Amino acid sequence: MEGAASGRCRMGMAIAAAVCLMPLLQLWGCVAVEANAGPYHFVKRHLDEVDRMRYKDPTQPLNTRIDDLLGRMTLAEKIGQMSQIERENATADVVSKYLVGSVLSGGGSVPAKNAPPEAWVEMVNGMQRAAMSTRLGIPVIYGIDAVHGHGNVYKATIFPHNVGLGCTREPELARRIGAAVALEVRATGIPYVFAPCVAVCRDPRWGRCYESFSEDPEVVRDMTAIISGFQGEIPDATDAGRPYVAPGHRNVAACSKHYVGDGGTTKGVNEGNTVASFHDLMAVHMPPYYNAVIRGVSTVMVSFSSWNGVKMHANHFLVTDHLKNRLRFRGFIISDWQGLDRITTPDHADYLLSIKLGILAGIDMVMIPYTYTEFIDDLTLLVRNGTIPMSRIDDAVRRILRVKFTMGLFDHPYADASLAGELGKQEHRDLAREAVRKSLVLLKNGKPGAGPMLPLPKNGAVLVAGSHADDLGSQCGGWTITWQGLTGNNLTAGTTILDGVRRAVAPGTDVVYSENPDAAFLQQNRARFGYAIVVVGEPPYAETFGDNLNLTIPAPGPDVIRNVCGAIKCVVVLVSGRPLVVEPFVDVIDALVAAWLPGTEGQGVSDVLFGDYGFTGKLSRTWFRSVDQLPMNVGDAHCEDALFPFGFGIETQPATY
């Protein structure tokens, strides 16, 4: 009797457990019940199945989880993991139907204009819920460009572009910036950034040169410290090649780009051809990737460009043989935006061929913002007919899963809404302001026979002129709110250089702003102003739209310099993504400052102009006299004729008032 009672008790407990477990078992796809199975056997069988689903168990070793999940996946689920689609297409139905593995925001792709962090979190979590409802519940990884801060997002902190950060020569500053950007990105629920760009820009005519820390590979190598800011410091450097993201919600997976040689194309043509020996490619363009792999970078993005006529997206030797096998990189390799399409000329002319070449070259995740159904169908066909072996698909998916497991997506798939206050917070703006003042390079300080002009006095009437003095969009540059960037002061939150000047001067000081003062105004007021600050430069641009073969200061900048500096003692602040032709104006200018693209914290410029801090920045690029000298890089024989050599920068001490 006692045994029978005990058996009835166990049966009752089993039935209760079955009822309680039913929703969970449905989620895991384990609801098939044999016709004659009793409740006890039903529960036991499914508990055994749960026990075997090791990929869901965070206590299991990483490779055990990966092997377990990979072994359960169908071809459709694997190809879904290799697909990254644009946010605007990533509805819940699309994510679940096509088993999408990743979603991205292109430049300017946002849930709504001026969307707050909460709207981003809601959007990302909605996509994640769709992914988690699929048979295996594999989370999506959402990626976004964050090349100088969380640039797509309203009121985010925008840091100086990399060309300026390279002038600081401070890897630790880069690391702190990476950590701050990671927090702002996480504030919007996003765990993955397409940054940093570790290109070694060898020709400033390239429209992406401002995304490069330097023309010198050693400087770029040092500044890969930003990866440790994004991801966290890798605990075991001996395990180089394995992706690493620190536990928790304060770091993001990083992406070193654009592999490899994108900064060495002929005449700086974007997506062009880099003509170089293997030795030169390894010596100039590859070193930053060595450091990135050592730092545990999670992903690497392939370049649109070619090496000696071979598209990087189709280069098996460099992508698989070198990066994956020789350097033992174990994260995943991602294409650039529609990168496979551009293997052929014209784009997308033979998509089956493009997919074949790209996947066999070693690309693991493909950025297919719009044509994802065609990609999925064509890749499925290529696998089923034996053109692409299943081993190549498994390698790609294994790498993607490794990154997702490593960054904790399986165990904590949803965004942490409590981080919303990290976006644009004062500590980050203070850090950006510090980066601005350390990135500025003083190229001239006083005319021959005269004393230094800087630092400027904080009293007396001041004339501020030039198109870039009161233009937040222009001082941020491309990749800010939109892909190409915008001019004007209504795009996001920040401080213009003019704002900074007004805050820096003594109370009661007369600051007059005239964007383009005419000769009559200058003649009438030349005795009124003690000095003038002229701020001119380039308009915002990105990628091919920034390719420029003449590199002159855009109009009316040259006339403003000549007119103002010809009448009043002046300092010219140049806002640009690269060195520009300035030799024709150097003699008329009293002081010249390269401010690069400083971002939202324009007060960092006035901090140094007025001597609250000294100038410390050193050129990360050789400053040419004429574009006819290009390319011109440190170590070249003709660098002796540079206007300002690599590493040049006049240092000053803080003022004592």
Closest CA to 640 of 613, 626, 622, 619: 622
- CB-CB contact of 369 with 85 (8 Å): yes
400 vs 411: CA distance, rounded Å: 16
Q: Is the dihedral of CA 452, 455, 459, 464 positive or negative?
A: positive
Tally of residues, the chain? 657
* Nearest of 408, 421, 400, 505 to residue 463 by alpha carbon: 505
Packed helices 372-384 and 351-361: angle between N→C axes, nearest 10 degrees: 70
Task: Look up residue 60 and give its amino acid.
Answer: Q
**Cα four-point dihedral sign 523, 527, 531, 533:** negative
| CA separation, residue 290 to residues 399, 445, 454 (Å) | 19, 39, 41
Read off the DSSP letter of residue 262: G
Q: Cβ distance 329 to 321 under 8 Å?
A: no
Rounded CA-CA distance 103/100 in Å is 8
Active site residue 538: no
Q: Closest by alpha carbon to 215, among 618, 584, 595? A: 618
CA angle 293, 294, 295 (to 5 degrees): 90
Q: Are 387 and 379 in contact (CB under 8 A)?
A: no
Strands in 570-575's sheet, in edge-to-edge order, are 441-445, 591-596, 570-575, 531-537, 462-465, 511-514
Considering only CA atoms, which of 122, 36, 38, 30 is closest in space to residue 72?
30
Q: Which two tokens stand for residue 166?
A: 């390279």
**Which long-range CB contacts under 8 A does 524-529 form with residues at least 24 apart?**
525/463, 526/567, 526/568, 528/461, 529/460, 529/461, 529/462, 529/463, 529/568
Given a contact cutoff of 8 angstroms between Cβ atoms, the answer to whether 433 and 475 are in contact is: no
Residue 595 main-chain phi, psi, to 5 deg: -100, -5
Q: How far is CA 417 from CA 178, 185, 251, 408, in A?
A: 21, 12, 15, 17
DSSP 57-89: -TTS-HHHHHHHHHHH--HHHHHHHTEEEEGGG
- With H, G, I as helix, E, B as strand and everything else as coil, classify residue 641: helix
* Active-site residue, from 216, 378, 470, 543: 543
Question: Catalytic site residue 583?
Answer: no
Active-site annotation holder among 145, 184, 215, 336: 336
Phi/psi of residue 259, nearest 5 degrees:
-75, 120
Map residue 312 onto helix, strand or coil.
helix
Q: What is the 3-state secondary structure (H, E, C) of 166-227?
A: HHHCCHHHHHHHHHHHHHHHHHCCCCEECCCECCECCCCCCCCHHHCCECCHHHHHHHCHHH
Residue positions annotated with a catalytic role: 336, 543
